[in-house]
């Protein structure tokens, strides 16, 4: 099994979201294809104001490749709670800064806190409507 890749779909804010995620987690955008780059014979009727939007992209954060795009006009994406991305931190890493940055303009669903399963854990929904889990194993005695 090669693993699981998450695909995030946005209503026009894909590029901004990828830039934020790469900034917060130290990642890199690997590939971006815009709607204007689609072959003319692809049968896609893309409005002029959508030509610069992301048709498909790959980016890497914390060693994990993610894929993303802006939905095609007319294909409304309803933001919900169906996708959660979990970012695991090692004991010596500080996750509070990333948690706080990503929660700006969004909503904290569960503040960072020590849990009964011996982890420091928290959940947020970022300003783009995507849900994130932050987890860091606690040192057990």
Q: What is the pLDDT of residue 5?
A: 75
| 1 pLDDT tier (thresholds 50, 70, 90) | very low
pLDDT above 70 as % of the chain = 90
| 7-70 and 84-137 share one fold | yes
Which CATH class for the 84-137 domain?
alpha beta
Query: And the tokens for 1?
Result: 């099994």
Going from the C-alpha of 20 to that of each of 61, 88, 139, the distances in angstroms are: 11, 18, 30
Mean pLDDT of 8-24: 94
Domain locations in the chain as residue ranges: 7-70, 84-137
Mean pLDDT of 17-30: 96
Domain 7-70 has CATH 3.10.180.10: yes
Q: What is the pLDDT of residue 2?
A: 41
Q: CA 105, CA 68: separation in Å to the nearest integer?
A: 21
Closest to 103 (Cα-Cα) out of 118, 71, 125: 125
Q: What is the pLDDT of residue 30?
A: 97
């Amino acid at each position: 099994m090669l693993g699981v890749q998450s695909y995030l779909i946005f209503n026009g804010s894909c590029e901004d979201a990828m830039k934020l995620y790469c900034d917060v987690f130290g990642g890199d955008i690997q590939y971006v294809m815009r709607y204007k780059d689609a072959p003319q014979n692809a049968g896609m009727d893309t409005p002029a104001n959508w030509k610069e939007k992301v048709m498909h992209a790959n980016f890497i954060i914390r060693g994990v490749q993610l894929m993303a795009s802006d939905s095609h006009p007319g294909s409304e994406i309803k933001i919900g709670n169906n996708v959660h991305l979990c970012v695991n931190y090692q004991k010596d890493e500080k996750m509070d800064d990333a948690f706080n940055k990503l929660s700006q303009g969004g909503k904290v669903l569960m503040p960072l806190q020590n849990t009964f399963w011996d982890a420091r854990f928290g959940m947020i929904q970022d300003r783009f409507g995507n849900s994130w889990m932050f987890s860091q194993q606690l040192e057990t005695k």
